C-alpha cells in the first residue's frame, strides 16, 4: 500500500488504501533463524571462527529484514526496519567487549584466588612463592577511606550552600561552574596536583598514601556535590516553609527536615562516587607509589593499592612471569567485584533509606 | 471524498485497565461530530483509537471493530502508518515542530511520502493548506520563521494546516481550543465549519456551546460509575441532544446538574 | 550574601544559623581553593619544566609536548568516531526501541561498562583485544595501504593507537549513551505524537521529533566523552606501544604517545627537571580538557536557554 502512496504523492481522495501486503508478526524471528543458519553454514564452509559466524549472521539479518520489508511494504517501511535492526545490532556489538572482558577476568582471575592471596603481601615474594594482595587491599581501603572523609563533608556542605543559601548569590554561581570544571579534571592531573602540593612540604620524590586521598577527593567531590544538589533540589519548598512556619531555625530545618528527606539519594551518590574513584590508577601511581609491603600509615611512605598492583604485576612481572600475571588477573577480579558490589550497594541503599511515604 | 466511520463493540484498554467499554456508533462523512462528557470518561482515549494513535502508548490495546471505507482498522493487514496518514489529528496543545519553520511544518507530513518535491508543488501545498487553515494572510510574509514564534491560536491553526496538507479523509481534534482565547477559538470554529465540506471531522470539547455551535451530531460519554469504564451514553443529532435528549444523564450533564 | 525571606524570618541572627551557614560557605570555598591550588601548584612546579625543557630534552617545550598533544587528540578522536554512533544507537534502543520492561535492565548493563576500572580495560586490551585486531590490521595494510591511516606495516602485537582508540571508545560509550538516552527520553510526547499522527514510521518520528530536540544535547554528550577520552591514562599507557612519533598511520608498531600515558609511564622513575617537565605537560592536558568540557557545557547551556523560550 505504501507503494501506491509513493507513486502518487497526492492520491485521489476517493481512494483510501490502508491495507496491503504486510509482513507477519513473526517476521523478525523467521529472518533471525534464517540468518543464523546462513551465518553458521557459511562460516563452516569458509572456515571462519565464531566471530565470523556472528558477524555473518548479523549482516544477513539486517539485510534480510530490510529487503523483505522494502519489497513487501515499501521504501519507508524498509528504512524503518533497517534502522531498527541496526540499532539493536549496535547494542549487541557493544556488549561483546563487556562479555569478553568479564569472561577473561573470571577465567584468568579465579585460579589466583586463595586464602593466601587475600592474606599475604608481596614482601620478599619471588617467582611462584605464595604472595597476595593484602597490602594492596589495605592501601586501597585506607586511601579511599581518606578520600571519602575529605569529600563527603565538603561535598555535602557545598551542595547545601549552593541549594539552600546561594540560590541567588554570585558565589554560588561561581562554585557551580567550578564544580563543573572539577568534573572534567583528568585523573592524572589530580595526581600531579597532589604531588605538586606535597612536594612543597616533604621535598622531591615524595610518596604517601594521604596524597592519594587528596588526589582522589579532587575527583570525588564534584560527584558528591552533583548528587547531593540533585537530591536537595527535589525536596519541595513547602516542606521547608512548613518547618519555618513552626519557628524552626533554618539550619535545624536543613538538618532535621531537608537532609533526612534526601538521605537515600545522597547515600547512593556517595557510594557511586566511591565506586568511581576506587578503581583509579593514575593518580595513585604518581603520589602513592608502589610497594611490596603492608603500610598502615597514610601519612608516611609508599602505599600499594589494587589498581597499581595490577599495573605493575602485569607490566613488570619478573621471572618467571606467569605467577605475577596470574596475580594481576586475580586482583583485577577482586577490584571489579568491589566496584560492582559498591554499585549494587548504592541501589540497595537507595531503596532502604528512601523516605517512607504512602505515595 | 470524505469517509464515514463505523464503530462496533469497541473496548479500549491501558494494560489491564479497561478505559472505555462497548462503544457503537456511526460517524457520518462530511459532518462534524462532537464528543462531550466529564473529565476522565475516555473521550480522548476513544478518539485516539480511531486512528490507531492509542497503541502508541505502551501496553495499550483495543478490542472490537472500527471500519472506515469498508476496511477494518485493526485488521492485521492494515498498516497503522497509512491509517494515521489518512486520519489526521490535531491535539489539545498546539505542537508545531520547534526546530522547523512555518513552511517546513506544513510540509512535514508530505515530505514523508515524497522525498523530492518540486519547489512549485511544495509552495502550492503550503499556500493551499495555510489558506485552508485561515492562516495564510497572517503568515505569508514570514514562512521561513520558526513555527514556535506564532501565537497559540496561530500555532493551532498551523497544526491544522499541517494535518490537512496531506489531504486526509478524516480529521480528529482533541479539545483544539482549550488552550486558546475566545477570538482564536472563534477563528478555529469558523474553520471547522469550512473544513466540513471536505473532511469528516470529529472533535472532543468541554465547551457545551462549542459543541452546539459547530457539530451536527453529538456523543455524550460518561463513566458508568466511579472506577468503572467509560461508555457512550447517548449519540444523536446535536439539536436533539441539546433540546430533548433521550437520556436523563445527558440532560443533567448539559444543564449543569451533574455529579 | 544571599537574602531570602525565609532566612530573615526564620532568624538569620541565631548563632546556630550563623555557624551552619559559615560551614557551608567554608566548604564551598574549599572547592574554590582546591581549584586555585590545582592551577597554582601545577604552574609552580610546571614552569621550571617549561623553561628547562631544553636542558632536559635538547628541544623546546613545544616540540616536546606537541607530539604528545597530537597523540592525545588522535586517540581521543578515534574513540569518539567509533563510540558516537554506537552510543546513539544504544541510547535509542533504551529510550525508544526496547519494550519498557527490558529497557531498564539494558540501561544497567550499559552502566556496567562504566564500572570496569581503566587499568582492567588496559590489561584486557593487551591480552584480548589487541591480538584479535591483528588480522584486521594485516588485512587493512594489504588491501587499502593507500589510505594513510592504514599504510602499515601492520603491528604484530596489535598494540597500536587504533587499538587504544577502540579501548577508549568502549570506556566513553557509557557516558555518551547515558546522556543521550536521558535527552531522547525527555523529548516531549507532544512532538513525538505530532509526527506519528502525520503517519511517520518510528524512525521518521525519531528524525522529525527526537533528533532535532536532542541535537545540542548529543553534541555536548560527545564532547564530554571526548573530554574523558583525552584525560584517560592507564588504558592507553598499557595498550599503546608508543615511540613518540607523529604519524597518520594508525595500525603500525610505531605510534604517537599521549600526554597522560607518557606521564604515567615516566613519572615513577623520573627525578629532577624531568618531573617538572611531566607536570608541565599535565598542565597542557588540563588546559585542553578544560576547553573541551567548557565548550560542551556552553553548547548544552545555550540550547537550554533557547529551548526554554
Ligand atoms: N496513558 C495512560 N495510561 C493509563 N491510563 C490512562 C492513560 N491515559 C488515560 N488513561 C485513563 O483512561 C481514562 C480515560 O482517559 P481520557 O484521557 O480518555 O479521558 P478524557 O475523557 O479525555 O478526559 P479529559 O476530558 O480530562 O481530557 C482515565 O481513567 C485515564 O486515567
Ligand atoms: Mg482528553
DSSP string, A180-218: HHHHT--HHHHHHHHHHHHHHHH-TT---HHHHHHHHHH
Q: Whose CA is nearest to atom 30 of ligand 1?
A: B40
Ligand 1 nearest atom to the CA of residue B41, by list position: 21
Domains in chain A, number? 2
Q: Whose CA is nearest to atom 28 of ligand 1?
A: B40
Q: Is residue A7 part of a domain?
A: no
Task: Locate B165 and state its grid cell.
Answer: 496538507
CA of A198 to the centre of ligand 2 (A): 66
Q: Which of B12, B53, B50, B54 is nearest to B33 (CA)?
A: B50
State if residue B41 touches ligand 1 by the CB under 6 angstroms criterion.
Answer: yes
Task: Locate A271 and state its grid cell.
Answer: 557510594
The nearest alpha carbon in chain A to C6 belongs to: A244
The verdict on whether omega for the bond into residue A73 sits within 30 degrees of 0, i.e. cis, is no
State if residue B56 touches ligand 1 by the CB under 6 angstroms criterion.
Answer: no
What is the value of ipTM here, to two decimals? 0.89
Domains in chain B, number? 1
φ and ψ at B203, to 5 degrees?
-135, 135
Q: Whose CA is nearest to atom 14 of ligand 1?
A: B42
Q: Would you kindly state where each structural domain of chain C is located, as residue ranges?
A: 1-51, 62-308
Q: Is residue A358 part of a domain?
A: no
Domain final residue pick, A111, A145, A178: A111
Residue A266 shares a structural domain with residue A302: yes
Domain final residue pick, A81, A111, A141: A111
- Kindly determine whether residue B79 and residue A16, on different chains, have CB atoms separated by under 8 Å: no
| β-pair partners for C84 | none
Q: Is residue B115 part of a domain?
A: no
Residues of C in contact with A189 (CB under 8 A): 38, 42, 231, 282, 285-286, 289
* CA distance to partner chain A, nearest, from residue B1 (Å): 5
Least confident of A160-169, B230-239, C125-134: A160-169
Which chain A residues in 4-43 lie under 8 Å from chain C, judged by CB atoms? none
pLDDT digits (tens, 9 = 90+) for B188-223: 899 899 888 889 999 999 999 999 999 999 999 998
Interface test with chain A among C43, C102, C115, C227, by most A beta carbons within 10 Å: C115
- Kindly determine whether residue C190 and residue B95, on different chains, have CB atoms separated by under 8 Å: yes
C62-308: what fold? MetI-like fold (1.10.3720)
The nearest alpha carbon in chain C to A5 belongs to: C199
Ligand 1 nearest atom to the CA of residue B46, by list position: 18
Domain final residue pick, A111, A140, A169: A111
- Kindly determine whether residue B79 and residue A73, on different chains, have CB atoms separated by under 8 Å: yes
State if residue B219 touches ligand 1 by the CB under 6 angstroms criterion.
Answer: no
Q: ∠ at Cα A138 (A346, A144), nearest 5°?
A: 45
Tell me which H or E stretch contains A257: none
Q: Is the pLDDT of residue C161 over 60?
A: yes
Q: Is residue A202 part of a domain?
A: yes
Mutate to test the pocket of ligand 1, among B42, B57, B207, B230 (most ligand atoms within 8 A of CB): B42
Q: What CA–CA distance (Å, rounded) separates A31 from A4?
A: 26
Tell me which H or E stretch contains A164: none
What CATH number does the domain containing A189 carry?
A: 1.10.3720.10
Residue A68 shares a structural domain with residue A206: no
The runs of H, that is alpha helices, within chain B are 43-49, 80-86, 102-113, 119-132, 136-139, 152-165, 182-195, 208-214, 238-243, 248-254
Q: Is there a contact between C260 and C236 (Cβ–Cβ < 8 Å)? A: yes
pLDDT digits (tens, 9 = 90+) for B127-169: 999 988 889 999 989 999 988 889 888 999 999 999 999 889 8
> Which of the four pLDDT bands, split at 50, 70 and 90, describes residue C302?
confident
- Kindly determine whether residue B83 and residue A18, on different chains, have CB atoms separated by under 8 Å: yes
| β-pair partners for B218 | B34, B236
Q: Is residue A259 part of a domain?
A: yes
**What string of pLDDT tens digits covers the 359 residues of chain A?**
344 434 334 445 566 777 777 888 888 888 889 988 888 888 888 877 788 888 888 899 999 999 998 888 888 889 999 999 999 999 999 999 999 999 999 999 999 888 888 887 878 777 777 788 999 999 999 999 999 999 999 999 999 999 988 877 788 888 988 998 898 899 999 999 999 999 888 888 888 999 999 999 999 999 999 999 989 988 888 888 888 888 888 888 898 889 988 888 899 999 999 998 999 999 999 998 888 888 888 888 889 999 999 999 999 887 788 888 999 999 999 999 999 999 889 888 888 877 665 44
- A138: three-class secondary structure by DSSP: helix
Contact with chain C for residue B47, Cβ under 8 A: no
What CATH number does the domain containing B195 carry?
A: 3.40.50.300
Domain that holds residue B36: 5-95+170-254
Q: ∠ at Cα C178 (C176, C183), nearest 5°?
A: 95
Q: Give how far Cα B176 sits from Cα of B152, B160, B202, C135, C170, Å.
A: 11, 9, 11, 62, 48
Domain that holds residue A61: 25-111
* CA distance to partner chain C, nearest, from residue B162 (Å): 8
Q: Is there a contact between A209 and A143 (Cβ–Cβ < 8 Å)? A: yes
Q: Whose CA is nearest to atom 26 of ligand 1?
A: B39
Q: What CA–CA distance (Å, rounded) separates A337 from A328?
A: 14
Interface test with chain C among B54, B58, B93, B98, by most C beta carbons within 10 Å: B98
The nearest alpha carbon in chain B to A19 belongs to: B78
Q: Is there a contact between B208 and B36 (Cβ–Cβ < 8 Å)? A: yes
Q: What CA–CA distance (Å, rounded) separates A30 from B84?
A: 28
Q: Which of A125, A165, A85, A46 is nearest to A292 (CA)?
A: A125
The string of DSSP letters for A115-126 reads HHHHH---TT--
Q: Is residue B190 part of a domain?
A: yes
Counting every residue written for chain A, the total comes to 359
Residue A223 shares a structural domain with residue A283: yes
Task: Locate C116 and state its grid cell.
Answer: 570496569
Q: Is residue B224 part of a domain?
A: yes
Which pairing describes strands B60-68 and B71-72: parallel, antiparallel, or unpaired? Answer: antiparallel
Amino acid at each position: 500500500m505504501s507503494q501506491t502512496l509513493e507513486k502518487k504523492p497526492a492520491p485521489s481522495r476517493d481512494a483510501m488504501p490502508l491495507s496491503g501486503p504486510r509482513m507477519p508478526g513473526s517476521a523478525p524471528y523467521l529472518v533471525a533463524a534464517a540468518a543464523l543458519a546462513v551465518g553458521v553454514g557459511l562460516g563452516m564452509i569458509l572456515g571462519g571462527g565464531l566471530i565470523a559466524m556472528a558477524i555473518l549472521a548479523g549482516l544477513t539479518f539486517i539485510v534480510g529484514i530490510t529487503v523483505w520489508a522494502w519489497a513487501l511494504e515499501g521504501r519507508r517501511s524498509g528504512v524503518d526496519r533497517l534502522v531498527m535492526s541496526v540499532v539493536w545490532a549496535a547494542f549487541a556489538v557493544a556488549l561483546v567487549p563487556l562479555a569478553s572482558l568479564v569472561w577473561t577476568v573470571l577465567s584468568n582471575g579465579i585460579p589466583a584466588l586463595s586464602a593466601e592471596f587475600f592474606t599475604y603481601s608481596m614482601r620478599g615474594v619471588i617467582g611462584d612463592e605464595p604472595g597476595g594482595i593484602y597490602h594492596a587491599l589495605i592501601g586501597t581501603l585506607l586511601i579511599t577511606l581518606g578520600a571519602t572523609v575529605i569529600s563527603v563533608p565538603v561535598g555535602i556542605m557545598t551542595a547545601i550552600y549552593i541549594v539552600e543559601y546561594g540560590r541567588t548569590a554570585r558565589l554560588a554561581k561561581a562554585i557551580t561552574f567550578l564544580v563543573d570544571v572539577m568534573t572534567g579534571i583528568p585523573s592524572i592531573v589530580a595526581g600531579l596536583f597532589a604531588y605538586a602540593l606535597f612536594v612543597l612540604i616533604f621535598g622531591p620524590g615524595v610518596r604517601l598514601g594521604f596524597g592519594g586521598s587528596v588526589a582522589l577527593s579532587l575527583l570525588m567531590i564534584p560527584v558528591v556535590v552533583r548528587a547531593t544538589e540533585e537530591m536537595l533540589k527535589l525536596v519541595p519548598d513547602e516542606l521547608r516553609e512548613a518547618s519555618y512556619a513552626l519557628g524552626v531555625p533554618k539550619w535545624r530545618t536543613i538538618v532535621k527536615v531537608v537532609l533526612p528527606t534526601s538521605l537515600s539519594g545522597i547515600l547512593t551518590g556517595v557510594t557511586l562516587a566511591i565506586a568511581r574513584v576506587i578503581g583509579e590508577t593514575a593518580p595513585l601511581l604518581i603520589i602513592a607509589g608502589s610497594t611490596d609491603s603492608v603500610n598502615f600509615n597514610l601519612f608516611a611512605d609508599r602505599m600499594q593499592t589494587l589498581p597499581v598492583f595490577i599495573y605493575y604485576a602485569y607490566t613488570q612481572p619478573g621471572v618467571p612471569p606467569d605467577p605475577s600475571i596470574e596475580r594481576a588477573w586475580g586482583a583485577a577480579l577482586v577490584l571489579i567485584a568491589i566496584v560492582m558490589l559498591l554499585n549494587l550497594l548504592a541501589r540497595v541503599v537507595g531503596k532502604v533509606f528512601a523516605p517512607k511515604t504512602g505515595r | 471524498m470524505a469517509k464515514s466511520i463505523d464503530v462496533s463493540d469497541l473496548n479500549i484498554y491501558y494494560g489491564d485497565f479497561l478505559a472505555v467499554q462497548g462503544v457503537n456508533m456511526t460517524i457520518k462523512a462530511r459532518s462534524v461530530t462532537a464528543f462531550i462528557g466529564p473529565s476522565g470518561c475516555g473521550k480522548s482515549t476513544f478518539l485516539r483509537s480511531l486512528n490507531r494513535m492509542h497503541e502508541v502508548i505502551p501496553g495499550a490495546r483495543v478490542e472490537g471493530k472500527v471500519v472506515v471505507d469498508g476496511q477494518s482498522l485493526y485488521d492485521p493487514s492494515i498498516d497503522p502508518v497509512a491509517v494515521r496518514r489518512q486520519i489526521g489529528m490535531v491535539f489539545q496543545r498546539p505542537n508545531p515542530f520547534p526546530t522547523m519553520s512555518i513552511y517546513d511544518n506544513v510540509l512535514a507530513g508530505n515530505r514523508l511520502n515524497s522525498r523530492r518535491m518540486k519547489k512549485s508543488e511544495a509552495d502550492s501545498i503550503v499556500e493551499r493548506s495555510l489558506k485552508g487553515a485561515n492562516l495564510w494572510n497572517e503568515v505569508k510574509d514570514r514562512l521561513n520563521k520558526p513555527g514556535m514564534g506564532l501565537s497559540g491560536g496561530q500555532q493551532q491553526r498551523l497544526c491544522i494546516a499541517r494535518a490537512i496538507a496531506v489531504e486526509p479523509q478524516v480529521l480528529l481534534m482533541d479539545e483544539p481550543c482549550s488552550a486558546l482565547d475566545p477570538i482564536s477559538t472563534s477563528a478555529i470554529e469558523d474553520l471547522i465549519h469550512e473544513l466540513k465540506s471536505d473532511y469528516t471531522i470529529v472533535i472532543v470539547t468541554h465547551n457545551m456551546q462549542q459543541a452546539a455551535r459547530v457539530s451536527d451530531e453529538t456523543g455524550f460519554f460518561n463513566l458508568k460509575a466511579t472506577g468503572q469504564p467509560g461508555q457512550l451514553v447517548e449519540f444523536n443529532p446535536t439539536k436533539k441532544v441539546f433540546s430533548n435528549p433521550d437520556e436523563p444523564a445527558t440532560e443533567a450533564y448539559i444543564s449543569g446538574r451533574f455529579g | 550574601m544571599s537574602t531570602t525571606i525565609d532566612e530573615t524570618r526564620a532568624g538569620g541572627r541565631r548563632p546556630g544559623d550563623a555557624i551552619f551557614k559559615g560551614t557551608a560557605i567554608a566548604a564551598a570555598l574549599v572547592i574554590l581553593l582546591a581549584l586555585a591550588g590545582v592551577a597554582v601548584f601545577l604552574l609552580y612546579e610546571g614552569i621550571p619544566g617549561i623553561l628547562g625543557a631544553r636542558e632536559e630534552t635538547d628541544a623546546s617545550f613545544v616540540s616536546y609536548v606537541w607530539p604528545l598533544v597530537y597523540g592525545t587528540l588522535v586517540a581521543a578522536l578515534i574513540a569518539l568516531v567509533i563510540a558516537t554512533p554506537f552510543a546513539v544507537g544504544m541510547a535509542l534502543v533504551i529510550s525508544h526501541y526496547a519494550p519498557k520492561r527490558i529497557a531498564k535492565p539494558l540501561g544497567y548493563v550499559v552502566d556496567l561498562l562504566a564500572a570496569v576500572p581503566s587499568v582492567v580495560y588496559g590489561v584486557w586490551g593487551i591480552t584480548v583485544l589487541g591480538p584479535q585486531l591483528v588480522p584486521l590490521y594485516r588485512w587493512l595494510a594489504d588491501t587499502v595501504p593507500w589510505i594513510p591511516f592504514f599504510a602499515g606495516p601492520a603491528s604484530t602485537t596489535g598494540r597500536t593507537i587504533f587499538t587504544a582508540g577502540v579501548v577508549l571508545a568502549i570506556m566513553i560509550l557509557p557516558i555518551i549513551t547515558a546522556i543521550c538516552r536521558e535527552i531522547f527520553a525527555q523529548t516531549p510526547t507532544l512532538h513525538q505524537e505530532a509526527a506519528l499522527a502525520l503517519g511517520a514510521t518510528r524512525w521518521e518520528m525519531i528524525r522529525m521529533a527526537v533528533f532535532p530536540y536532542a541535537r545540542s544535547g548529543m553534541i555536548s554528550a560527545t564532547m564530554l566523552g571526548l573530554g574523558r577520552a583525552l584525560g584517560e591514562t592507564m588504558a592507553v599507557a598499557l595498550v599503546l606501544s608508543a615511540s613518540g612519533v607523529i604519524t597518520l598511520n594508525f595500525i603500525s608498531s610505531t605510534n604517537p604517545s599521549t600526554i597522560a600515558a607518557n606521564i604515567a609511564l615516566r613519572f615513577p622513575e623520573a627525578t629532577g627537571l624531568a618531573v617538572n617537565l611531566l607536570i608541565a605537560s599535565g598542565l597542557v592536558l588540563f588546559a585542553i580538557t578544560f576547553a573541551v568540557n567548557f565548550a560542551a557545557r556552553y553548547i548544552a547551556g545555550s540550547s537550554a536557554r533557547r529551548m526554554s523560550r
